[in-house]
Structure 1
Amino acid sequence: MNANAIATPQDGGARSLRFAALLATYMQSANLPLPNSALRFIQGSLSMTDDQAGWIFTAYLGASAITLPLAQWLAGRFGVKLVYQAAIVLLIVGLWLATAATTPLEFVGARIVQGIASGVLGPLSMGISLETLPPARRPKFGAVFTAVVLLGIATGPTVGGWLSEYHGWRSMFYASIPLSVFIFLVVALLLAEKKAETKPPYDFFGFGTFTLSMIGLQMLLDRGERLDWFASTEIWIEAIAFVLGMYLFVVHVLTTKVHFINKSLLRDRNFVLSTVIFFALGVVLLSTMALTSPMLDEILGYPPVTTGLMTLPRGAGLVGSFILMSRYSDRYDQRLFVAAGIALVAYANWMMLGYSPLMDWSPVAIAGAIQGIGLGILMPSISKVAFNTLDPKLRPEGTGFFNLMRAYGSTLGVAVVQLYFFNNTQAMHMALASNLTPYRAAAHSLVSAPLPALAGLNEMITGQAAFIAVLDQFKILMVVMLVVSPLVVFLRKPVSTN
């Protein structure tokens, strides 16, 4: 954020403003996985199908990924205070719409509104927080800010599960409204701003074509299974939007000097390879959560409060290892930590392949904690490797692109695992049910079985098929990390900053 875009108060006012900005950061990250532990309640209340439940996460992620690159331009064009307050109001509207939703599409629409606000709040909260700090404290604040983001992601399912269990699922969104009003009032009273002297330029063509491509791909993945893929005109339109948007974007990047992504970023080997690894990290970071909570809640029948609590070991490992790495790892070669983080994440996903319907809580807690530690080691180390060799002039643009790739990794990752989950569930259901034939002794009694008994048997088979499908998705996430692991060998050794 430009220093001349915002004037900040001093002393207590600065601390209050920074607290409000960090609270907004926590809220916008916690709201992403907030419904995770209460999907069964939400689906039952809104008559939502399993594939529509996946849209709860992809709608929020996709909308935030679209507005994330626009946040700085909007702040420079209209003023930080105005844009920030507008984003808070939009978040409140999205929260209220979620509580008032009576159909799946209304709820997904509310999540899109929340995601639009989230994409703006994240980077502007960072800028406001930095402006309230003395210059000497700013370089180390990035780790604090990221820790708050991770804390929100880690505790969101727990908070949502507890509120849903005792106060109904709508209460999780009601609870955020007074906090949002508090943030709005603090910003209104304490944040002063200066309008930018010149209107900042922006590559709307590059941004538009890239966004068109990503929206087309996202919709294709989300809607393809329901519409029987390319038998549907809508899927063809979405596929064309993806291909055309990506083609125009690539041509634009190759043929213009100033555009949405600075080509100079692509000349730094460490930055490019680290961005690919960070994209893979985004795939695993939220996809695991999007699989684990429904597995516990819907398939194994845990209550929402228990489902939420079982995500805490992963969150504790993630936040704890991230903080330790941010403080004490600078004296060592960061590539070693990158390799160690990837290995731990892959190992944790391998442990998840051993989940069983007969297990207790301990395998989930142990595997989650190991994966959280691995992610907490990987995130700061890969960030340091990415920016250590990058020209300081390119770091602001690089930071935006780096985080954008993680966001798209998360939204596409959730869409892909949801897609394969439904396909594999159907395939496994057919494979298991094919053994129930009149020629098998175990199936003889089914010939005269009453309809409720047959329905119960079908439900049991569906549950078994769904559980096997979940394990298959953990295997995909493990493969994703293994595929990017060789890239560590090609990373250059970071320059020591000591």
Structure 2
Amino acid sequence: MDEHKGYPDPQTALMITIAALTAVLLVTLDSTIATIALGRIQSNLAASPEQITWVLTSYLIAAAVMTPLAGWLADRFGRLRTMRTSVFFFTLSSLGCGLAPNLETLTLFRFIQGASGASLVPLSQVLLLDIWPEEKHGTAISAFGVGTLMGPMLGPTLGAWLIEYISWRWIFLINVPIGVLSLTGFAVFAAGHDKLREVKFDMRGFIYVSVALTAFQLMLDRGQLLDWFSSTEVAIEAAIAALFGYLAVVHVFTTADPFIKPAIFKDRNFALGTAFMMGVGIFMVGAIPIITTMMQQLMGYPVMLTGVVSLPRAIGNILTVVIAGQLIGKVDSRLLMIIGLSGMIGGFYILSGVTLETDPWTMALVSFVQGLGSGLMFLPLMMMVFTTLPDKFKNEGATLTALMRNLGGAVGISVIQTLTLRDLTASQSRLAEKVTPDNPLVGWRYGDVDFTDPLDVAARSGEVARQGLILAYHHTFEMMFVLSMVMVVICLLMKRKKETGASRKPAPVFMD
């Protein structure tokens, strides 16, 4: 260890990095791998469509509640101790999920998974910045980016393979050896290195934030199923989220030592970066499920082909994460972020023109282009946010950015699916108005259509439904195209690193 600077020796830092990245992969892989298995789990455990959604909802609620708490736990009990405990319970709950005999047990262990895994990604991020000297930050963040972005990208492909050739239970059981590897690394190479702080726990603030997040997450998850505000349940959840959200904001600004420190938002890069992270969550996290659904349900791709087509996204991520790690510090991070956004924008532009006959190679190209963009966008954003943030706010800042990204993803998935389904109704109505006996285009396209034959009418109605759905997808991707362009403005408002004194101040908080 370099005692003067407070960094561990390079060999120890490398092994801690491997343990941290393994923990990150553990959580990020699980965040998407379960989605593709819901149908198989539903049939195997004899669950209804409404019941099976709790497999995802329980995980998301627990993660939303525990993510903002992770910063306080890291300050009070030590970052590494918190991470070791989280990996242990995540691994144990993964084993419980894989062996669950019924839906109730699976839902319980999924809740424990979400709660225990919430701290691992944000705390790993600041850990890597603190165990490596500043000249190695680009490489460290590149490695973190691979772990963070690879999990969600590989999840659908790996999940499809496990479901097809082994069992849905292995999408959870595969976490066990990964968790044991991570836990062993932390136990051997990072034991006794925690830096503790005496920090008060704001119970009232935590309750306000937790209730608001829980109600908000429930509203998002249940809204589409219950037709949103026509449902009394969803209206109550929205009212509770608004009330406790208001109480949380008032509490933050009127309490001496609140659960969330408002002073953290005085850092312009952090405030803008958090907003950027939420926007990215909406159009990047929210886009993946709808692209997958479109390929499977509309284009007729089997599960395995859908997974293979999604794989180039991970390949693009790896390429640009490595490139970005070498360019950070040499090129304006804002420029790298804008170039990365261009990849996302280009992908949505292509998606806004797909048809029912679009081949898998085109969809794979979209995945690759967007993978390139997200990898190049993510690492410069992390460096822009955390190099200007004071040391005392790093744990809290990491958890808040993770929380906003997760909330953005939850909002994106719910809103995008709702808008797509409602646009589908309008698109089908417009198309159906044109399918009439006196329309010459109908005769030109389908020949002699017998509108008195029920089979003929059913065939035309099915085609109208398919064309209406592809139109709805077009409109959704056009909306995400516009939103991703708006993110460019936020990039330009952020400060360059050289405008601050952060680069002249090494700030390791790993060691006492």
- Tell me the TM-score normalized by structure 1: 0.83
After TM superposition, give the deviation of residue 286 of structure 1 in Å. 1.5
| Counterpart residue number, 2:449 | 442
Equivalent positions of 1:288-327 (< 5 A) are 288-327=287-326
Q: Give the one of 452, 464, 469 matched to 2:472.
A: 469
Q: Contact conserved, 2:145 with 2:375, CA < 8 A, in 1?
A: no
Compared with structure 1, are the counterparts of its residues 201 and 396 closer, same or farther at alpha carbon in structure 2 (3 Å cutoff)? same
Distance verdict in 2 for CA 1:153–1:130, change over 3 Å:
same
8 Å contact kept, 1:37–1:307: no
Say if 2:351 is the partner of 1:352.
yes
**Quick one: structure 1 residues 335 and 191, their matched pair in 2 at CA, closer, same or farther if it must change by over 3 Å?**
closer
Matched residue, 1:211: 210
Closer/same/farther in 2, CA of residues 295 and 95 from structure 1, 3 Å limit: farther
SS in 1 for 2:326: helix
Unaligned runs of 5+ in 1: none
Whole-Å separation in 2 of the counterparts to 1:399 and 1:173: 26
Query: CA-to-partner distance for each residue in 1:471-495, whole Å, 9 max, x for gaps?
Result: 3332232232223333334333431
Change (3 A) 1:20 1:478: same
Q: Is the 8 A contact 1:37 1:305 kept in 2?
A: no
Aligned to 1:276: 275
Question: Structure 2 counterpart of 1:444, which letter?
Answer: F
Report deviation, 1:422: 3.2
User: Structure 1 residues 201 and 179 mapped into 2: Cα distance closer, same or farther (>3 Å)?
Assistant: same
> Contact 1:350 / 1:478 at 8 angstroms: preserved in 2?
yes
How far is the alpha carbon of 1:353 from its aligned partner? 0.7
1:209 Cα deviation from its structure 2 partner: 1.8
Worse-matched range after superposition: 477-486 or 75-84: 75-84
Cα 1:271/1:136, change in 2 over 3 Å? closer
Letter in 2 for 1:174: L
- Counterpart-to-counterpart distance in 2, 1:211 and 1:21: 27
Alpha-carbon contact 1:322-1:380 (below 8 Å) kept: yes
Name which of structure 1's ranges 466-475 and 183-192 shifts more when overlaid on structure 2.
183-192
1:487 and 2:494 correspond: no
What pairs with 1:233-382 in structure 2 (closer than 5 Å)? 233-382=232-381
Distance in structure 2 (CA, Å) of the matches to 1:107 and 1:459: 37
CA deviation digits over 1:176-223, x for unaligned, max 9? Answer: 234334544565666634888775323333333223222222222222
**DSSP 3-state at the match of 2:453:** helix
| 1:33 match: secondary structure | helix
How much does 1:241 deviate?
Answer: 1.0
Local SS of the residue matching 1:202: coil
**Does the C-alpha gap of structure 1 residues 48 and 475 become closer, same or farther in structure 2, counting only changes over 3 Å?**
farther
Structure 1 stretch displaced more, 48-57 or 325-334:
48-57
2:508 equivalent in structure 1: none
2:93 paired residue number:
93
AA of the residue aligned to 1:383: M
Inter-partner Cα distance in structure 2 for 1:199 and 1:398: 18
2:349 partner amino acid: W
Between the aligned partners of 1:129 and 1:395, the Cα distance in structure 2 is 12
Is the CA contact (8 Å cut-off) linking 2:31 and 2:152 kept in structure 1?
yes
1:98/1:106 contact within 8 Å kept = no
State the partner residue of 2:199.
200
- How far residue 429 of structure 1 moved from its aligned partner, in angstroms, is 4.6
Matched, 1:19 2:41: no
Q: Which amino acid aligns with 1:446?
A: D
| Whole-Å separation in 2 of the counterparts to 1:161 and 1:340 | 32
CA distance in 2, matches of 1:136, 1:62: 36
Structure 2 Cα separation of the partners of residues 193 and 348 of structure 1: 47
Show structure 2 runs of 5+ residues with no match: 440-447, 505-512
Distance 1:254 1:13, change over 3 A: closer
Deviations 1:91-125 (A, max 9, x none): 4324533563655x765555433222221333455
Q: Equivalents in 2 of 1:242, 1:271: separation in Å? A: 25
- Note the C-alpha offset of 1:160: 1.0
Matches within 5 A, 1:90-169: 90-97=90-97, 100=100, 110-125=109-124, 139-140=137-138, 141-169=140-168
CA RMSD for the aligned pairs? 3.8
TM-score scaled to structure 2, two decimals? Answer: 0.81
SS class of match (1:261): coil
Note closer, same or farther for the CA distance 1:334–1:424 as it changes in structure 2 (3 Å cut). same
Which amino acid is the alignment partner of residue 88 of structure 1? F
8 Å Cα contact 2:333-2:381 kept in structure 1: yes
Moved more, 15-24 or 222-231: 15-24
Cα pair 1:54 1:414 within 8 Å, conserved: no
Contact kept? 1:279, 1:408, Cα under 8 Å: yes
Say if 1:165 and 1:303, in contact at 8 Å, map to a contact too.
no
Tell me the distance in 2 between the aligned counterparts of 1:337 and 1:129. Answer: 21
> Cα deviations across residues 255-282 of structure 1 (Å, max 9, x unaligned)?
2332233222322333322221221112
Q: CA deviation at 1:321?
A: 1.0
Question: Is 1:98–1:110's contact at 8 Å kept on the other side of the alignment?
Answer: no
Output the CA distance in 1 between the equivalents of 2:171 and 2:30: 9
Per the alignment, residue 220 of structure 2 pairs with 221
Task: Say if 1:123 and 1:403 are closer, same or farther in 2 by CA, change over 3 A.
Answer: closer
**Alignment partner, residue 478 of structure 1:** 481
